[in-house]
Amino acid sequence: MRQIMKIKNEFRTSFFLSVRYFERNYKQLFFLILVLSFSFVNIVFFSAVNKGLTETLNSQVISYTTGDILIEPREGKRLINNADQVENSLMSIPGIVAVSPRYDQPVSIKKKDKISGTRIIAINPEKEYKVSSIESTVTEGQSIGRYENDEVMIGVEIANEEGGSKTLSRGFGIGIHAGDKIEIEFDRIHKKEYTVKGIFETKFWESDFFVLANLNDVSSLLNLDNQVSYMLVKVNDRSLVDYHKREIQKLSMDVRVYTWREKASFVQQISDSLNIIQVLMFFAGILIASVTIFISMYINIFNRMKFIGVLRAIGVSRRAIITSYLLLALFYCLVGIIFGIIITMIVSNYFDFHPIDLPMGLVRPTFTTASFIVAGLSIIAACIVSTFIPSSSITKKNIIYSIFRGEK
C-alpha cells in the first residue's frame, strides 16, 4: 500500500513539474511540435503515394489491358481459334458477366505525309464496353459502334503531335482530330482508309498508344476465320478470380488462362522497389524527430541542472524527475501527431480534387489507419527514448555537482 502511495505521489510531482516546465517554455516546445507534425506527415505521405500508385496501376491494367482474367492462345500459337465457341463456354460459367474478344496487330498510320507506327486493337464495341472503361475516356468525337466498319478511335499519344498529355510520344504523334481521314497499313497487302470517330485518353501510357477498330471489319479485311488474339473476361467478384480461373481450366479448352495479378506482376515489382524508398523515408523521418528531440531536451535539461540538483536535494526522486520529462515528451508527441493528422487530412482532400498526373494514370495518395498507427507509435517511441537518455544521464550526476555545476 505504501509503495502504491509512493508511486502515486511521485506521479503527481512529475505531472506538476512537467506542467510548470511547459508554462515557462511553451514557445520552445512549439518548435518541437512542428517538427514532429511534419515528421509524421513525411512518414505517412510516401506510404500513401506508394499505395495509391499501386492501386492506380492495378486499376488501369484491369480496365484497359487484361480484364479480371485474360485468355490467350496456347504456347506456340498466335491466335485463338473458334473464338465464338470459346466465348460461349466462358459465359456458361456462373460469375462471369462479360467477355470481350480482341485482335491485336502492329500497324502503321498515315495522314498525308506523316506516318506513325502503333498497334491496332480490333474489338466488338458492344462487348468491349461491358469489360473495359475505354468508352468513358473519349475526349474528342465519339466512341465507335458495333456496325461502324470504316471508323476508328485513336489514342491521345498517337493523335496529339505534341506528345499527348504525358509527352511520351514525341516522334509518334501525328496530329489527328475527330473527323480526319487516315490510312492504316496492316501489311504490304492489306491497307484501308478510315475516318477517325473519336480520340480517347485513358491516362495509361500503354493504352493511349492504341488504335481501336471494329473486329468485324478487321476480320473481313484480313480474312480471319473466327480467330482472335486474346479475350478479356470480367467477373462479378474480383476477389474470386482464382476460383474462376480454375473453373475455366476445367473446361479443357485450347487456351492459357491468367488472372490480372499474374499479368500485372510488374506492378508488384514497382511497388517492391518503392517499398525500399518508403522504408528509407520512414527511418529518415524517425531519425530527424529523434535527433531534434534529443538535442533540444539535452540542452534544456543541461541548462536546468542546478534546478534538478535542488529538486533532488529537497527529496524529489530521480525517477519523478525523469518521469516529468517523459510526460512532457509524451504530451508534445501527441499534440504533434494530432497536428500531423490534421495536415494529412488537408493534403488528402487536396489530392482528391487535384490528383498527381503521372504517365500511369491519376494517382491519389491512399492514407490508411494502419499507416497512421505505425507512424504515431514510432514517433512516440522515438520521443520517449530521445528524452529518457539525456534525462537519465544528467539526473545521475551528484547532487552537489549538479547544483554548483549548474551555477556556472
* Residue 175 three-state SS: coil
Pair 222, 369 in one domain? no
Confirm whether 67 is domain-assigned.
no
Confirm whether 261 is domain-assigned.
no
Pair 106, 225 in one domain? yes
What pLDDT is stored for residue 408 in this prediction?
A: 47
Pair 86, 58 in one domain? no
Q: Which of 240, 244, 253, 252 is nearest to 93 (CA)?
A: 244
The count of domains in the chain is 2
Amino acid at 388: F
What pLDDT is stored for residue 57 in this prediction?
A: 85
Confirm whether 136 is domain-assigned.
yes
Q: How far is CA 356 from CA 4, 157, 289, 325, 348, in A?
A: 56, 19, 28, 42, 12
Pair 384, 273 in one domain? yes
Pair 38, 138 in one domain? no
Which of 253, 278, 311 terminates a domain? The answer is: 253
Which of 253, 278, 298 terminates a domain? The answer is: 253
Pair 97, 226 in one domain? yes
Pair 44, 82 in one domain? no
Which of 230, 253, 276 terminates a domain? The answer is: 253
Pair 190, 83 in one domain? yes
Tens digit of each residue's pLDDT (9 = 90 or more) over 118-173: 899 999 999 999 999 898 899 999 999 877 788 999 998 888 866 544 445 445 77
Pair 91, 235 in one domain? yes
Confirm whether 259 is domain-assigned.
no
Q: Which residues contact 320 (CB under 8 A, 6 or more apart)?
A: 10, 11, 13, 14, 17
Pair 219, 304 in one domain? no
Confirm whether 360 is domain-assigned.
yes
281: domain range?
A: 2-62+267-407
Confirm whether 69 is domain-assigned.
no
Pair 173, 45 in one domain? no
Task: Return the H-helix or E-strand segment holding 241.
Answer: helix 241-249
Q: Which of 126, 186, 184, 124 is nearest to 154 (CA)?
A: 184
Confirm whether 26 is domain-assigned.
yes
What pLDDT is stored for residue 305 in this prediction?
A: 67
Confirm whether 107 is domain-assigned.
yes
pTM of the prediction? 0.74
Tens digit of each residue's pLDDT (9 = 90 or more) over 190-230: 899 999 999 998 888 778 888 999 999 999 999 999 999 99
Stretches where the chain sits below pLDDT 50 are 164-167, 169-170, 408
Pair 239, 301 in one domain? no
